[in-house]
Structure 1
Amino acid sequence: MTSLEQLKQEKIAVLYGGDSAEREVSLNSGSAVAKGLTEAGFNVELIDTQGFNLGELKTRGIDRAFIALHGRGGEDGCIQGALEYLGVPYTGSNVLGSALAMDKIRCKQIWRTLGLPTAEFKMVEKADFNPEQAADILAALGGKVMVKPAHEGSSIGMASADSAESLIAALNNAFEYDSSVLVEAWITGGEYTVAILGQQALPAIHMETPHEFYDYQAKYQVSTTQYHCPSNLPKEQEAELQGLALQAFKSSGASGWGRVDFMLNSDNQWQLLEVNTVPGMTETSLVPKAAKVHGLTFNQLVTEILQLSANR
């Protein structure tokens, strides 16, 4: 096991930026992580992976990587596989956990198999989609749906639909981002998230927005979104949610740290949405908010995430 003092002797690369649709968010996350680690006493080099030859990590003497890349290339097992090939230890989930958690459809298939609660859904492939199917898909899922590219984050490419015409439009938009699209039965209720740190679920956060759902604008561009942590759930219900978050996280193969998103439907039942293996990491992002209520400063949080990578 690598001690904290040994980690501080290592050269840590914070990998950020990249080429995904979430590049701008990643630039903010990486900058915050690098600042936090530097203030905590680590030897840090901030590296934008856009156009970067990963082989240079070895020539630059990098001992370990803190992955702050969101979306494709950074959160889907690609960078994890490259780092394993290079022999560079890294934070967060391994190749399988990253790839599986990034795939919303296959995560839901696993949860269904394990009996974990998640909304009804259909998988729609771009190559096979016939617009004449839209009305049947909508009817099978209760008349209103959420459309999500299977391998995107930050609500990119997402839209609601409550008619065949709007579903066709939403699917065509989602196909711009992904050839596989998740069409999920609409859930009416509150949205919650639980951060995972090691084997522990942190305090839940309840997000409230005047938008129809917690979309990209609600996450990053407006000041009207409210975050409640503590979540004000009854103690027993919060414990149930945290336990479910740990189950969902582990079932996807995820490890180290991450976040699990939920809806609490109108029947007061939890519905799993997705697992995030590299969530946003600015000082105002969801995981740092939960960590703060748990008693960890931002610098302590990034230190703990780094230490988890050394204990794998």
Structure 2
Amino acid sequence: MAGRSSRTAPHVVVLKGGPSAEREVSLSSGAECAKALRQAGYEVTEIDAGQDLPARLAEAAPDVVFNALHGRWGEDGCVQGMLEWLKLRYTHSGVLASALAMDKTRSKQVYREAGLPVVDSLIVATETARSSHPMAPPYVVKPNAEGSSVGIYIVRDGANGPAQLGAQMPAEVMVETYVPGRELTTTVLGDRALGVTEIITDGWYDYDAKYKTGGSRHVVPAEIPDDISAACLDYALRAHRVLGCRGMSRTDFRWDDSRGLAGLYLLETNTQPGMTPTSLAPEQAAAAGLDFPALCAWLIEDALCRA
């Protein structure tokens, strides 16, 4: 199944949907990627990933899989392991990098060892975070292994009590120091950091700010000092490499501009960035001269070049 077929154009299966909390985002990303790949000349089959996924992939017999899944199972190494077992080429990162990047605690350990700046954090039982302050406010509470700002709570300085966490939270959560200031992000494509975007919102860059119309504004390139831009590019490329990412990743930062370079912190790396034409990574690619169909085609050709 791994070899390129005799078809004139490679047959691509786009994986989308799936069972995670980010299903709707993935359905949107997958549909946009499938459309772009058809425009680029590929034969495309779209599959909504369910428990019958191995059988559906065997039936489709693609030359390569475009992974447009988001969240647990789709970007945490699970589907990547299945694709490895089936000997199918696929886009984006492999098993280990996907699992590391999804686990915020483990990835922070890797970043620290590589000398990358991260904030202090700890893992606590969710009931503990509900009943008392695990650290002095301000701090952030979030799942250790989710994306798209799912389940994020901010406890402000001077808060009367701990976070009122919803019932959907896992048994344990990450608690990390809150960094005031500006939201920045950098996409890495292959061995190149593309640029820096500033994300401007009325509040926290949560799920609604990311995906609802008018929820946020993107400034590309970010209007920031040259040393901060250079540091974002450097840190994102180093994060991509130390995690073992391949294809494309996007690394997010918070920058306290009152502290200069010392106020820049790496938050996390996303191995499966959102993939609609107006998502952050495609916007940066477009600013670098790569339109959306060309970006999707680059990811396919990158995957096809791997053994």
Q: Same fold (TM over 0.5)?
A: yes
CA pair 9-224 structure 1, distance change in 2 beyond 3 A: closer
CA pair 231-130 structure 1, distance change in 2 beyond 3 A: closer
Aligned pair partner of 1:301 in 287, 295, 301: 295
Across the aligned residues of Structure 1 and Structure 2, the Cα RMSD in angstroms comes to: 2.2
Q: Which residue of 2 aligns with 1:186?
A: 178
Cα distance between partner residues in 2 of 1:304 and 1:51: 29
Following superposition, the deviation at residue 8 of structure 1 comes to 5.8
CA pair 164-229 structure 1, distance change in 2 beyond 3 A: closer
Q: SS at the partner of 1:91?
A: coil
CA pair 121-252 structure 1, distance change in 2 beyond 3 A: same
Cα distance between partner residues in 2 of 1:302 and 1:131: 41
Cα distance between partner residues in 1 of 2:105 and 2:115: 15
Aligned pair partner of 1:234 in 200, 225, 228: 225
1:138 is aligned to 2:135? yes
Cα distance between partner residues in 2 of 1:203 and 1:177: 34
Deviation per CA, 1:256-306: give whole Å up to 9, x if none: 111000011241221011110111101110011101100011001001111
Whether the 8 Å CA contact 1:131–1:168 is kept in 2: the answer is yes
Give the counterpart letter for 2:162 in structure 1.
L
Q: Which residue of 2 aligns with 1:45?
A: 45
Whether the 8 Å CA contact 2:14–2:68 is kept in 1: the answer is yes
Q: SS at the partner of 1:169?
A: coil
- Percentage of identical aligned residues: 39
Cα distance between partner residues in 2 of 1:311 and 1:275: 24
CA pair 224-56 structure 1, distance change in 2 beyond 3 A: closer
Give the counterpart letter for 1:9 in structure 2.
A
1:272 is aligned to 2:266? yes
Q: Which residue of 1 aligns with 2:195?
A: 203
Give the counterpart letter for 1:201 in structure 2.
A
Aligned pair partner of 1:169 in 140, 164, 168: 164
Whether the 8 Å CA contact 1:13–1:64 is kept in 2: the answer is yes
Cα distance between partner residues in 2 of 1:242 and 1:132: 37
Cα distance between partner residues in 2 of 1:112 and 1:36: 38
Q: SS at the partner of 2:53?
A: coil
Whether the 8 Å CA contact 2:9–2:42 is kept in 1: the answer is yes
Q: SS at the partner of 1:309?
A: helix
Q: Which residue of 2 aligns with 1:288?
A: 282
Q: Which residue of 2 aligns with 1:19?
A: 19
Following superposition, the deviation at residue 231 of structure 1 comes to 0.8
Q: SS at the partner of 1:275?
A: strand
Cα distance between partner residues in 2 of 1:189 and 1:119: 14
Q: Which residue of 2 aligns with 1:74?
A: 74
Deviation per CA, 1:188-247: give whole Å up to 9, x if none: 010011011101101110001012x10111111141521100112233431221011111
Aligned length: 300
TM-score, normalised with respect to structure 2: 0.91
Following superposition, the deviation at residue 105 of structure 1 comes to 1.3
Q: Which residue of 2 aligns with 1:86?
A: 86
CA pair 74-133 structure 1, distance change in 2 beyond 3 A: same
CA pair 81-250 structure 1, distance change in 2 beyond 3 A: same
1:54 is aligned to 2:54? yes
Cα distance between partner residues in 2 of 1:138 and 1:235: 34
Give the counterpart letter for 1:145 in structure 2.
Y
Unaligned runs of 5+ in 1: none
Following superposition, the deviation at residue 44 of structure 1 comes to 0.6
Unaligned runs of 5+ in 2: none
Q: SS at the partner of 1:33?
A: helix
Q: Which residue of 1 aligns with 2:209?
A: 218
TM-score, normalised with respect to structure 1: 0.90
Following superposition, the deviation at residue 254 of structure 1 comes to 1.7
